[in-house]
Structure 1
Amino acid sequence: MQTVRHSEHTLRTALISKNPALVSQYEKLDAGEKRLMDEAFRPDSDLFGPITLHSQSDWITSHPEAPQDFEEFFNDPYRKTPSPQEHSIYIQCIGLLGNTRSISEEYVKWLKGYCEAFFYGLTVKLLEPVPVSATRCSFRINDNTQNLQIHAGVGIFSFARYGSDFYSSHYEGKLKKLQKKSSSDYSVFDNYYVPEVTSVLLLRSCKTLTHEIGHIFGLRHCQWLACLMQGSNHLEEADQRPLDLCPICLRKLQSAIGFHLKDRYKALVRWVDAESTDTPTVSPERSREDPLSLPKPVEAFKEWREWITKCLAVLQK
C-alpha cells in the first residue's frame, strides 16, 4: 500500500494558482467556502485526505498522466461551460434495469435527482429509453468471461458491472453458449440478465455517472487528493474512491457551473433524505400501467451523508 501525499505548497498552488486574476477570484469566495477549500492543506483534515494506492494495478500507477490544476482547467479552451442557452444534462437509458419498466424508470429518476443535486443549478432531462440496437454500437462477447460488452463512446457506463457478482464465476449474465453474432444482430441482448437493484448498485451508479459527466465538463483524472475524479481500473478501486470531489476539483466544477457550495451540499442531503422510507415497493408482477414508488435504497450513502454534514458545519461556522 502506498500513499500519494503532496506538500501544502503544491496543493495550495493547485487549488488557488499563482495567477493574480485567479488568486483574486479565489479571495472573493465567502469565508465559509474558503474555510472548506482550505481543508485541502490541513494534514490532519478528516474531510479530505491523500490518495491511497493499494496495488500496482491501480489507475495512477498503470496510467501515468499529467496532473491538472485549477489554472490549467480554467484556461482549457475546449472545456464545456453551461450557458443560458445550454444548461441541461441529458440522460439516455439504453435498455431496462430491473424486472419491469416501472423499476427501471424509478431507478433512472433517482439518478436524475442525484445528478441535479451534484451539478447544482443545471437541469437534468431524461430521454426515452432505447434498445441496444438503436445505438448501432458494435459489441462483442468477452472470450474470458463470456459477458457481453458494448463498444460505446464518451459518457457511457454499464449498470451490469456494478452488480455484486459481475466478476464472479456464478454471474447469471454469462452467456451459456459461446456464439458468434454479426455486428448488426442484437438479438443476443433480448431478455438479457439485469442485476438486482440494491443500495450498493445505486451508490456505484451515482459515482460513475457523475465521474463521467465531470469529464464532459473538462475535469481530468484527479491526482491531488482522494476524490471522485480519481481514475479506476477495477471495481475494488472504484469502491475505495469517495463519492464527492476534493477541493481542487470542487473549485473546477464551481467555476464551470457557478453554484454556492452550501446550496449544493444541502441539495445532496435532501436527495438522500427524500422518499427513502415508508414508501410501497414495486413487485415484478406489476405492469407499467400500475406503477408504485420504489423505496430509494440509501443505506450505502449513510457515511457519505455524515461527511456532507461535516462539510456544511465548516461552511456555516
Structure 2
Amino acid sequence: MQTVRHSEHTLKTALISKNPALVSQYEKLDAGEKRLMEEAFRPDSDLFGPITLHSQSDWITSHPEAPQDFEEFFNDPYRKTPSPQKHSIYIQCIGLLGNTRSISEEYVKWLKGYCEAFFYGLTVKLLEPVPVSATRCSFRINDNTQNLQIHAGVGIFSFARYGSDFYSSHYEGKLKKLQKKSSSDYSVFDNYYVPEVTSVLLLRSCKTLTHEIGHIFGLRHCQWLACLMQGSNHLEEADQRPLDLCPICLRKLQSAIGFHLKDRYKALVRWVDAESTDTPTVTPERSREDPLSLPKPVEAFKEWREWITKCLAVLQK
C-alpha cells in the first residue's frame, strides 16, 4: 500500500492558484466555504485525506496523467459551462434495470434526484427509456465465455459489472454456446442481466454517474486528494473511492455551476433522508407483488451522510 501525499504549498497552489485574478475570485468566497476548502491543507483533517494506492493495478499507477489544478481547469476552452439557455442534464436509460418497467423507472428517478443534488442548481431531465436495439450499437459474443461485449473498444457503464458475483462462473456462459446471433439481432439483450437492487448498487451507480458527468464539465481524473474524480481500474478501487469531491475538484465544479456549498450539501442530505428505508434489498419479485412500494435503499450512504454533516458544521461555524 502506498500513500500519495502532496505538500501544503502544492495543494494551496492547486486550489487557489498564483494567478491574481483567480486568487481574487477565491477570496470572494464566504468565510465558511474557504474554511472548508482549506481543510485540504490540514494533515490531521478528518474530512479530506491523501490518495491511497492499494496495488500496482490501481489507476494512477497504470495510467500516468498530468494533474489538473484549478487554474488549468478554469482556462480549459473545451469545458462545459452552463448558461441560461443550456442548464439541463439529460439521463437516457437504455434497456430495463430488472425485469419490470416499474423497477427501472423508480431506480432512474433515484439517480435523477441524486444528480440534481450533486450538481445543485442545474435541471436534470429523464428521457424516455429505449431498448438496446434502438441504439443500433455493435456487439459481439465472446467465443470463450459466451458473454456479451457491447461496443468493444468503447467504455460504457453497465449495472452488470456491479453484481457481487459478476466475475464468478454463475454468469459465465449465460448464452447457450450453440446459439448463433447475427450482428443485427438484439434479442440477446432480452433479460440478459437482472441485478438485485441493493443499497450498494445504488451507491455505486451514484458514484459512476456523477464521476462521468464530472468529466463533461471538464474535471479530469483527480491526483491531489482522495476524491470521487479519481480513476478506477477495478471494482475494489471504485469502492475505495469517496462519494464526493475533494476541495480542489469541488472548487472546479462550483466555479462551473455557481452553487453555494451549504445549499449543495443540504440538498444531498435531503436526498438521503427522503423516503429512505432500512430494507436491505428490493428484489424484482417483491416489486411485482407491490409495485407501488419501492423504498429507496440508502443504508450504504449513512457514513457519507455523517461526513456531510461534519462539512456543514465547518461551513456554519
Could you say whether these structures have the same fold, taking a TM-score greater than 0.5 normalized by the shorter chain as the test? yes
Note the C-alpha offset of 1:167: 1.6
Given that residues 262 and 315 in structure 1 are in contact (C-alpha distance below 8 angstroms), is that contact kept between their aligned partners in structure 2?
yes
Change (3 A) 1:152 1:125: farther
Note the C-alpha offset of 1:234: 0.4
Segments of 5+ residues of structure 2 without an aligned counterpart are none
Change (3 A) 1:310 1:278: closer
Given that residues 141 and 149 in structure 1 are in contact (C-alpha distance below 8 angstroms), is that contact kept between their aligned partners in structure 2?
yes
Note the C-alpha offset of 1:286: 8.4
Please list the CA deviations of residues 275-300 of structure 1 after superposition, one character each: whole Å capped at 9, or x if unmatched. Answer: 01399998746899984131100000
Given that residues 12 and 41 in structure 2 are in contact (C-alpha distance below 8 angstroms), is that contact kept between their aligned partners in structure 1?
yes
Change (3 A) 1:281 1:162: closer
Change (3 A) 1:264 1:126: same
Alignment of 1:79-228 (within 5 A): 79-143=79-143, 145-151=145-151, 156-171=156-171, 174-177=174-177, 179-228=179-228
Note the C-alpha offset of 1:173: 7.9
Given that residues 145 and 172 in structure 2 are in contact (C-alpha distance below 8 angstroms), is that contact kept between their aligned partners in structure 1?
no
Given that residues 40 and 247 in structure 1 are in contact (C-alpha distance below 8 angstroms), is that contact kept between their aligned partners in structure 2?
yes
Matched residues in 2 for 1:280 and 1:248: separation? Answer: 34
The CA RMSD over aligned residues, in Å, is 2.4
Change (3 A) 1:66 1:56: same
| TM-score with structure 1 setting the length | 0.94
* % identical equivalent positions: 99
Matched residues in 2 for 1:39 and 1:278: separation? Answer: 32
Given that residues 114 and 268 in structure 1 are in contact (C-alpha distance below 8 angstroms), is that contact kept between their aligned partners in structure 2?
yes
Matched residues in 1 for 2:61 and 2:117: separation? Answer: 32
Please give the secondary structure, in 1, of the residue aligned with 2:211. Answer: helix
Change (3 A) 1:300 1:247: same
Matched residues in 2 for 1:116 and 1:173: separation? Answer: 39
Give the corresponding residue for 2:229.
229
Matched residues in 1 for 2:255 and 2:126: separation? Answer: 25
Matched residues in 2 for 1:117 and 1:155: separation? Answer: 26
Please give the secondary structure, in 1, of the residue aligned with 2:238. Answer: helix
Note the C-alpha offset of 1:172: 7.2
Change (3 A) 1:290 1:307: closer
Given that residues 222 and 230 in structure 1 are in contact (C-alpha distance below 8 angstroms), is that contact kept between their aligned partners in structure 2?
yes
Change (3 A) 1:201 1:282: closer
Please list the CA deviations of residues 173-226 of structure 1 after superposition, one character each: whole Å capped at 9, or x if unmatched. Answer: 833426553322211112212211000000000000000000001000000000
Matched residues in 2 for 1:104 and 1:285: separation? Answer: 14
Please give the secondary structure, in 2, of the residue aligned with 1:287. Answer: helix
